[in-house]
């Protein structure tokens, strides 16, 4: 028996929530992003009037202003969006005990066990559609925003369904119609098919999901390794990855921070200053959440908007700002060759452990000094919490007061849930290998 899976996606989530609180902006092009005057940040989301003018998620603010001169920017309020996300999930939980988050604005629901309570009291795609209609109505009535919902027998097609019609729509992909609706879609619409993979597939004549589904999985494996098998499973609608149950929500995978700087970074001294700001921010958030990290990654975007990233495993799990900065500086030195000035930079610490987790001590590491650095970080956080971010700062910040005016703790932060790829999608690829 097929499962009945829903994927619910809140339409233009951040912008929709902001329009609730700013009804005077409802008909104007609006984008949620950083500080335009400080040349900081990107478009996190935009409403439909802005999207129709060419504003896209991920655009730098100056780019968005070029395509839409009358665009209204609103600073993000993550606490507000998190509250609305929780209220939406509370509605989803009325219909299933299996609800899996995919970011703040998207969720999968497995309603196989509950859809017999609707309509003709059978487990059917039709009753899944009825649940989707009721959820859509409740979200609109109780929260004042809209959702698009996909209904299918697997998570991948359900997500394609929620993307198929926007806004405020419901799309069903079942065993009878999926070849007609899904197969003509661009292969790039599949979850986790990045732009590079899409370009490679297009060079090989694979442009649609139907093209991808028709390919021999073994050939795709030769071309793209396990990713090729995963995409074949996705295209054919054979994904069997379960939807997480209540109480088993994915833990935090990593904590990081990135920023678009007030001016381009042009040398290692500039980078070192910003890395200290970001490291303090990441270290503070790690401590707030009770984690230490074992892996660090640095991300750089240059003035031509080309991105570079590199990561490494840390010798000792840490939440100490100085250790995070030193690892970041080492990664940056190996990563970047200064072909262009740098526009934005980020740090991410992952492979997290509880800070109380036992660990192997290193004979060559001064644990006393590490303890003092940890306590110093704690004290700095307390001072800033009481007197403001600029109450205390490192001496290096005096080198460039303009650049160091960046409050990294208040800037765009990233808290990453465990990836969909880590929830068992390998099983689909391995199943194909055995065929």
* Residues annotated catalytic, as ranges: 106
Report d(CA 284, CA 129) in Å as an integer: 45
CA 38 centroid distance within chain: 24
Could you count the other beta carbons within 10 Å of the beta carbon of residue 233? 26
**Half-sphere exposure of residue 177, counting CA atoms within 13 Å on the CB side?**
10
How would you classify the pairing of strands 170-172 and 147-152?
parallel
Residue appearing with tokens 């859809």: 115
Report d(CA 303, CA 341) in Å as an integer: 6
Q: Is residue 149 helix, strand or coil?
A: strand
CA distances from 228 to 33, 155, 277, 426 (A): 35, 18, 40, 11
Could you count the other beta carbons within 10 Å of the beta carbon of residue 379? 11
Report d(CA 109, CA 409) in Å as an integer: 34
Report d(CA 73, CA 60) in Å as an integer: 12
């Amino acid at each position: 028996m097929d499962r009945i899976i829903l994927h619910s996606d809140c339409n233009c989530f951040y912008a929709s929530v902001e329009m609730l609180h700013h009804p005077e902006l409802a008909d104007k092009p609006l984008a949620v992003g950083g500080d335009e005057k400080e040349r900081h940040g990107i478009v996190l989301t935009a409403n439909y009037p802005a999207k129709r003018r060419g504003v896209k998620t991920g655009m730098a603010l100056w780019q968005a202003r070029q395509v839409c001169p009358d665009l209204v920017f609103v600073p993000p309020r993550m606490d507000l969006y998190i509250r609305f996300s929780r209220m939406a999930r509370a509605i989803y939980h009325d219909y299933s005990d299996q609800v899996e988050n995919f970011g703040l604005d998207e969720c999968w629901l497995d309603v196989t066990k509950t859809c017999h309570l609707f309509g003709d009291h059978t487990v059917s795609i039709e009753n899944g559609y009825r649940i989707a209609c009721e959820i859509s109505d409740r979200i609109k009535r109780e929260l004042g925003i809209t959702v698009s919902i996909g209904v299918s027998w697997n998570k991948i097609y359900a997500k394609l369904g929620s993307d198929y019609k926007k806004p405020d729509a419901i799309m069903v992909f079942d065993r009878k119609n999926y070849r007609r609706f899904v197969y003509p879609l661009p292969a790039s619409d599949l979850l986790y098919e990045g732009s590079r993979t899409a370009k490679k597939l297009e060079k090989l004549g694979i442009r649609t999901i139907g093209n991808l589904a028709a390919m021999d999985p073994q050939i795709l494996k030769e071309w793209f390794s396990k990713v090729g098998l995963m995409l074949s499973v996705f295209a054919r609608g054979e994904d069997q990855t379960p939807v997480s149950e209540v109480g088993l929500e994915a833990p935090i995978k990593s904590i990081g921070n990135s920023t678009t700087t007030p001016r381009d970074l042009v040398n290692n001294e500039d980078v070192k200053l910003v890395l200290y700001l970001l490291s303090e921010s990441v270290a503070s958030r790690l401590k707030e959440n009770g984690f230490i990290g074992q892996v660090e990654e640095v991300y750089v975007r240059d003035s031509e908007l080309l991105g570079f990233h590199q990561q490494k495993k840390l010798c000792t799990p840490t939440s100490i700002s100085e250790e995070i900065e030193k690892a970041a500086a080492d990664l940056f030195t190996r990563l970047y060759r200064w072909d262009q000035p740098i526009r934005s930079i980020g740090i991410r610490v992952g492979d997290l452990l509880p800070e109380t987790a036992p660990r192997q001590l290193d004979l060559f590491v001064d644990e006393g000094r590490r303890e003092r650095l940890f306590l110093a970080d704690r004290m700095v956080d307390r001072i800033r919490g009481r007197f403001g971010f600029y109450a205390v700062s490192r001496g290096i910040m005096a080198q460039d007061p303009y650049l160091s005016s960046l409050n990294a703790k208040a800037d765009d932060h990233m808290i990453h849930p465990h990836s969909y790829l880590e929830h068992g999608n390998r099983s689909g690829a391995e199943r194909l290998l055995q065929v």
